[in-house]
Structure 1
Amino acid sequence: MVMTNYMGLLAQNQPWNLILFMVVPVVLAESLVATEFMMAYRGPENAGGWKSWNHGLSILAGVYFAGVVLYLLTNVVPGITWKGWADELAIGAYLLGIVPFGALALMELGVIGKGLEPRKRLLHHFGWLVVFLIVSHVAMVFGMVDPTITGYKPAPAMMHQMDGMPMQHDGMQHNMNGMQK
């Protein structure tokens, strides 16, 4: 099976790429969801420590993800050989995560949404979190797709046989018996 560049990036440099590009952003998003729920339950005016956690997590998520996106745009994306539209959609959706995370950070830094009353501010926060969860799930789903089912055709020299099943393996050709093909 051929992997998208999204999955290839997560699979490289184990476990660090998986942690840095998937685990940390997802933990930040899920932690924000938890603090948002608590703030909604208690009311934004009575949220106490949950509001402080939410404030810090929002800024951290925006700054962290901005760093990730900057790194990917300067060091990874320019060298990508695209493997069809699913691959492009997965990477594009992942990179779009900076919009909602950036908006949350900018809200907490007072750059946008300053005049919003507490209830509206909470709704905006929820809205941006929903947007992040949507784009991140689109990235994950399409990142797991075998790009050959969306039209990508790998170079024949990159295929090898494993018990009768063609598999791609970074340009190396071999079979399970250790004999060169």
Structure 2
Amino acid sequence: MDMTHYMELLADNQPWNLILFMAIPVILAETIAISELAILYTRKYSGGLWKLNKVCSILAGLYFTGVFSYLFVNVVIPLTSGGQWRGAIDVIAVGFYLLGVVPLLGMALLDMNLIWKNKSIEQKLKIHAFFVGFFLVVAHVAMIFGMLDPRLGSGTEGHSHMDM
């Protein structure tokens, strides 16, 4: 089975690529999501959980902006200019992975008080929760498409369902 560039990136240079491109962003995002649920439930806008949520949001946003920049310059531009994409599934997997920069950077900017400065805490919490959900959706779409054989749907499958 052929791999998408997304899966190939994670599989290469083990375990470092997996740690740098998957584990760190996902652990931060899951910490944000879990702490966000507790904050939404308790409405406690101070304390350790609140601080953990803010620190993880800022770290995730800044970290993933670096990941996005690195991959865009070193992967997306060369693949595009060289015509090396492995079909629509490949583009969707990589594209949705990189789209994660929007909600992660949005949370960071919100928590650094660089955007929506005049919103109430409740309004900011709603925006923050939207960004969390947005990230979870794009990350899961990237993972699902990333695990597919990029030849699916391109008419070049050429193997039986028994191939593994």
TM-score, normalisation: structure 1 = 0.81
2-side partners of 1:143 and 1:119: how far apart? 36
Q: 1:83 is matched with which residue: 68, 81, 86?
A: 86
Amino acid at match of 1:49: G
Shift of 1:79: 2.7
- For residues 53 and 7 of structure 2, what CA distance do their matches in structure 1 show? 30
Q: Computing the radius of gyration over CA atoms, which structure comes out larger, 1 or 2?
A: 1
User: What is the total number of aligned residue pairs between the two structures?
Assistant: 158
Q: Is 2:17 the counterpart of 1:14?
A: no
CA deviation map 1:80-127 (0-9, x unaligned): 210110100010001110000010010011111211211121111110
- Say which structure is richer in strand: 1
Aligned twin of 1:143: 146
Deviations 1:109-165 (A, max 9, x none): 1111211211121111110010001001010000111111121649x9xxxxxxx95
Matched residue type, 2:49: W
CA shift, 1:27, in A, is: 0.4
Distance, in Å, in 1 between the alignment partners of 2:88 and 2:27 is 28
By relative contact order (CA 8 Å, sep 6+), the higher-ranking structure is 2
What TM-score, normalized to structure 2?
A: 0.89
Amino acid corresponding to residue 9 of structure 2 in structure 1:
L
C-alpha distance in 2 between matches for 1:119 and 1:50: 16
Match of 1:58 in 2: 57
- Consecutive aligned runs of 4 or more in structure 1 exceeding 6 Å deviation: none
Tell me the distance in 2 between the aligned counterparts of 1:143 and 1:28: 20
Q: Which residue type is aligned with residue 36 of structure 1?
A: E
Cα displacement (A) at 1:19: 0.8
Letter in structure 2 aligned against 1:102: L
Correspondence for 2:42: 42
Is 1:83–1:152's contact at 8 Å kept on the other side of the alignment? no
**Counterpart of 2:61 in structure 1: which amino acid?**
G
CA distance in 2, matches of 1:85, 1:147: 7
Structure 2 unmatched ranges of 5 or more:
none
Q: For residues 44 and 127 of structure 1, what CA distance do their matches in structure 2 show?
A: 18
Match runs of 1:147-158 below 5 Å: 147-151=150-154, 153=156
